[in-house]
Every structure is written in C-alpha cells, then in structure tokens.
C-alpha cells in the first residue's frame, strides 16, 4: 500500500470554489496539513482525516518550511492519503515547489491539484477582468512583501502596458504607488485593494494610484492589489446590486 | 422569476478541475452557451439544459462577439438559469469582461465564477511552479497571438527577472524566442511548451529558448509557453513516473 501526498490548492476561501478533485482528496484524506488562512467551511470537508495546522503567518523562516517537509515525509510512512492544503494555488507564492522537490528527493509519490488563485479571482469577484480587449492584453503578478523583488519589475514595465497584480503588498502600498508614479503611470490610474475575496468578510476598496498612497485602510487578511485601467470596468455599485439581486 | 447569467470558468479541461460552484451551475442550467474547446466530460455535466456551441476558433471578429451578447440577453428573457461557459478563467483572455458589460447595460443579473487558468495550471500539472523561492517571485502572463502586444512587454522585462507565460503563442514561438534572446535572455533558458493540460491528450515539450525557435512540434490545441528558470524544476521524467505511480 503506497502513500500519496496531494499538494492541493484551496482557492480564495469560499468552499464552493474548491475543485471537485480537491474535495475528493479532502474527503478521503487520512491526514491534512493546512495553512493558517484556510476557511472553516473548507476544513469541514475533511470527514475523517486528522487536521494539522502548519501555518506560519509572519515568520517564514526556512526551518519551519524544512519542518513541513519532514512532517509530509514522515506522514507518508504512516498514512496512505496525505493532503497538503494551501490557500489559492499551491504554486503561486505557496512554496509548493519546495515541497514537491522535498517529496521527489525522499521518493514519496505526489500529485499537484491546482487551485483558484486570488491573483485572478479576487479581481474577478469584484467585477475586474485582469485582461480586457483594447485595454489590457497582459498581466504581471508580483509578490509585494519585499522591495528588492517588486521594485525592479515595476521599474521595467512601461506605464499602462499591463495590468499589475501585487499579492501580499498591503503594507507596501505607499512605496508601490510611489515607484509607479515615478515610472510614469498616471496618478489617476484606477486601483483596487481587495481582501478576503469570495468570503463573507470580503472588502473592496477602489481609488487611484495617488489615493492608494494615502489610504489608511489596512485589512488584517492578505490583500490583492490591482493596478490598471481594467479596474475602472468594475462598476462596483452596479456589481454589488446585481450580486444581491442574484441571490 | 428573474433570470441570472453565470459567467463560468471551465478550467483547463479535466472535469474534476471544475469548481463545485461551476458544477452546480451546469447542473441547474436551462441553457449553456459554450466555447469550442470545452471537454466532452465537462459538457456531460449539463443534465437538462440546452447546449449551444458559440465557439469561434480562428476568427474573433466583433460581430460574433456581439452576437453572443445578443444570445445571452435574449436567453435572459426566456430562461431562468443561463450559463456562459468559457475555457480556463472567464476573465483571462476570455472576453468575459465584454460579456459582463453587455449584461450590465441590458440590466441582466449576472455572476462571475472563476475557473482554473491554464496560465498557472498547465505548468503546475507538468511540475513547474510559476513562482519558486530564490528563483522567481513574479510571473508575466501575455497573449501571444499578436506581436504588437507581446513584443513591447518582452522588451520591457529584464532577462530572468520573472517567469514569462505566453498563452496562444504557439505559432509565434520563433519570434518570441528571437525577441527574448535579443533582449538578453540566455539561449539556454529553460522553456516548456504545454498543450491540452489536464486531459488524456496532454503533451509536454521542454527545451530551451534556442531550441524553441527550431521546434517543429505544433499541437492543434492552444499551447501554453512557459519561459524561465522554474521550468528546470520540472523533472519531467521523475514527475511522470510519480504520476503513474500515484494511480
């Protein structure tokens, strides 16, 4: 009886945005190692498996990541169906690649089950298409928790040539706004700051690059920052009215 | 009795990669307007609704897009549950934004149901994480069917600063390779050419930027092109062995 580790994307939060495959894996799991931000509704799909919280909110030191690898490999000795459940998609800033390599090295069978990434779904659920004919034919997704990473890229990309999506960039939004305005983006470029997309707690702030630098709104949960003309397509009031109408 | 149009992402092809919400909407639908590349398995989830094929493979003239808008609006007069089913995610090069705006203008209620985009899932299913700590903290997704779109962006982005994902870029791969090498990317930069991800027909070609220009492989289905050091993480042989092992 050989073990299999499923690296599963949990999507943005709403359990209905899990894939069929993800639900199947959660239901059959003997043990589930999950991140901090997985919703209650999602965890409640685990029928009989043991739940192990391995989230690390602020600190992302390599020791804890190493420890997760050890836990997964040890679980493969003991259980048949092991699930590693990660918010969004396991390969979008989820360190799923590192876990995959550790499993490869330990000769543990694994599979990758993609999930809905907030990079695309958070704007979509606010009525913002990351691409739109005649407005944007490309989007850049960048991690916003370290200037060394986002600054060179934001300085590379010509103003208004692509939609820019910054994940985990809430606390750096002033600096991001400054870099982009200096690079030549209009101060009036529409911006959305989205948190907890697809859940009851979701918040949508819209404004422009200039206002972003002044915005005090600081949601607790990770935010998705969307910058570009496509944001103007979200008739937020209209969208919310329709969404209510739809229930 | 008010009508609702659901703009639903069908994901990359495997029906098990549909979301729970997408399956629910297909099952309750009175009528489903779907694209050309939706898999049989996905369409078979429609229990009682009428299936209407509105795909346009090569020609993407605005008349047909206008006609789809008319069909959706007319259906909202006649039916309660209308589904517009699009491959991948409706807002990633899917023209879902245009359909959303048309529905808004016609005062038809709608909802957006994100889907798994091939931009992230095609590489993931080949064992390629679009981001990986120490290798890539960003990815650019760009449409590859028009040089006016991809050329300026590929000239902007500094070599090796982000993973580049080109959708619908199969027939332009020589030009894409040329632009990136001229921009300063190493000729040996790993590249993957992925088609029909998540289905029985999936193909994975890996090589490098130089070889991409010479590659004759031309799958019929749309390809996802992934360029960057992360591609080297896909130990394709290893991955396939494990995938077989996992069955």
Chain position carrying tokens 């939060």: A13
Question: Do the strands A138-143 and B138-143 form a parallel or antiparallel pair, or are they unpaired?
Answer: antiparallel
Determine the distance in angstroms separating the CA of B224 from the nearest CA of chain A, rounded to an integer: 14
Contact B145, B169 (CB under 8 A): yes
Contact present, A59 and A9 (Cβ < 8 Å) = no
In this predicted complex, what is the ipTM? 0.93
The three-state DSSP-derived secondary structure of B107-158 is: CCEEEEECCCCHHHHHHHHCCCCCCECCCECEEEEEECCCHHHHHHHHHHCC
Q: What is the reported pLDDT for B236?
A: 55
CB burial string A37-65: b at 16+ within 10 A, e below: bbbeebbebbeebeeeebebeeeeeeeeb
Q: Is the Cβ pair B91, A20 closer than 8 Å?
A: no
Q: How far is B220 from chain A (nearest CA, A)?
A: 23
Residue of A nearest to B93 (CA): A131
Q: Can you tell me which residue has the tokens 């799909």?
A: A45
Check the CA dihedral A102-A104-A109-A110 and report its sign.
Answer: positive
* Cβ atoms of A85 and A32 closer than 8 Å: yes
Q: Does A11 sit within 8 Å of B19, measured CB to CB? A: yes
Pick from A66, A98, A124, A198 the residue to mutate for testing the B interface (most B CBs within 10 Å). Answer: A124
Q: Angle at the Cα of A165 (from B114 to B144), degrees rounded to 5? A: 75
Considering only the beta carbons, identify the residue of B121, B128, B246 that sits closest to A109. Answer: B246
Q: Do A158 and B152 touch (CB under 8 A)?
A: yes
- Helical (H) or strand (E) element with A164: strand A163-167
CA distance B89 to B114: 5
Q: Mind telling me how many Å the CA of A142 is from chain B's nearest CA?
A: 4
- pLDDT in single tens digits along all 247 residues of chain B: 699 999 999 999 999 999 999 999 999 999 999 998 899 999 999 999 999 999 865 445 445 899 999 999 999 999 999 999 999 999 999 899 999 999 999 999 999 999 999 999 999 999 999 999 999 999 999 999 899 999 999 999 999 999 999 999 888 999 999 999 999 999 999 999 999 999 999 999 999 999 998 877 666 678 999 999 999 998 654 444 344 333 3
Residue numbers of B annotated as active site: 35, 56, 168
Give the rounded distance of the alpha carbon of A210 from its chain centre. 25
- Closest partner residue to B130 (CB to CB) among A91, A235, A242 is A91
Are the beta carbons of A140 and B117 separated by less than 8 Å?
Answer: no
Q: Do A161 and B158 touch (CB under 8 A)?
A: no
Among A26, A140, A164, pick the best mutation site for testing chain B contact (most B Cβ within 10 A).
A140
Q: A62: nearest CA in chain B?
A: B133
Give the pLDDT confidence of B176-221 residue by residue, as tens digits: 999 999 999 999 999 999 999 999 999 999 999 999 988 776 666 7
List strands edge to edge, sheet with A138-143: A203-208, A190-195, A223-227, A163-167, A138-143, B138-143, B163-167, B223-227, B190-195, B203-208
Report the residue of chain B nearest A95, measured CA to CA: B132
Between chains, do A2 and B158 touch, taking CB under 8 Å as contact? no
Q: CB distance B116–A116 less than 8 Å?
A: yes
Please state, in angstroms and rounded to a whole number, the distance separating the CA atoms of residues B102 and A129.
Answer: 14
């Amino acid at each position: 009886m050989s073990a299999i580790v499923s690296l599963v994307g949990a999507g943005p939060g709403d359990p209905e945005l899990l894939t069929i495959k993800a639900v199947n894996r959660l239901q059959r799991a003997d043990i589930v190692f999950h991140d901090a931000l997985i919703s209650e509704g999602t965890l409640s799909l685990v029928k009989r498996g043991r739940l192990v919280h391995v989230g690390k909110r602020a600190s992302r030191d390599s020791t804890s990541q190493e420890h997760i690898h050890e836990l997964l490999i040890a679980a493969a000795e003991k259980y048949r169906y092991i699930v590693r459940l990660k918010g969004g998609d396991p390969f979008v800033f989820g360190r799923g690649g590192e876990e995959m390599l550790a499993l490869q090295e330990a000769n543990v069978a694994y599979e990758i089950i993609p999930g809905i990434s907030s990079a695309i779904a958070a704007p979509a659920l606010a009525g913002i298409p990351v691409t739109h004919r005649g407005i944007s034919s490309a989007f850049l997704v960048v991690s916003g928790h370290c200037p060394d990473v986002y600054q060179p890229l934001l300085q590379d990309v010509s103003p208004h040539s692509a939609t820019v999506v910054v994940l985990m960039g809430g606390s750096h939004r002033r600096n991001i706004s400054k870099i982009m305005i200096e690079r030549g983006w209009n101060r009036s470029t529409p911006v959305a700051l989205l948190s907890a997309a697809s859940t009851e707690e979701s918040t949508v702030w819209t404004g422009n690059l200039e206002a972003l630098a002044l915005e005090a709104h600081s949601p607790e949960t990770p935010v998705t920052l969307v910058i570009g003309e496509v944001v103007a397509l979200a008739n937020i009031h209209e969208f919310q009215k329709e969404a209510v109408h739809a229930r």
